[in-house]
Amino acid sequence: MESVAAREERRGAQVGGGSTNRGRFVKGDPRINRKGRPRTFDQLRRLALSLLNEPVKRPDGEPLVVDGHVVTRVEMILRNAMSNPRFAQWILEVAYGKVPDKVEVSGRDGAPLKVQAFDYYAAVADITTRPEPHRGEPS
């Protein structure tokens, strides 16, 4: 039986840094994300806010200034998202939280709902206790 080390060496695994052909991480692999993914939505929200509040830079590296103030990424996104309001809604919900949906349920013309319950057990009991009709007689 072939050992794991021999199998990986046969497949062209790198030793002492870098990645294997199978996509596994080894010590020193530059692809390893040391900070990891955000564990909670609050961490994702903080990350989104920090990125969105960074200033937009012009090609020469200077901050972009509009109407006397430095433009942030969120402002630029919103300015560009005028043609697609759905995208603007999504990015704002990630950064600042979803706007609550208020749902009201009522009867006709605002009257209270009338709830009717059907007792299936009583109906089954009623059906099963009925006398069976005799053959040849109308039921």
- Reduced 3-state DSSP string for 74-113: HHHHHHHHHHCHHHHHHHHHHHHCCCCCCCCCCCHHHCCC
Q: Say how many Å lie between the first and final Cα of the chain, rounded.
A: 79
For residue 14, pLDDT beyond 50: no
User: Would you state the torsion angle of the CA atoms of residues 85, 88, 94, 98, taken in this order, to the nearest 10 degrees?
Assistant: -40
Give how far the C-alpha of residue 111 lies from the chain's centroid of Cα atoms, to the nearest Å. Answer: 37
Question: What pLDDT, in 10s, does the model give residues 31-83?
Answer: 776 667 667 888 888 888 898 899 999 999 999 999 999 999 988 887 887 67
**Tokens describing residue 12:** 């062209």
Q: Tens digit of pLDDT for each residue in 97-131?
A: 888 888 888 888 888 888 888 888 888 888 888 77
Measured CA to CA, the distance from residue 56 to residue 135 in angstroms comes to 89
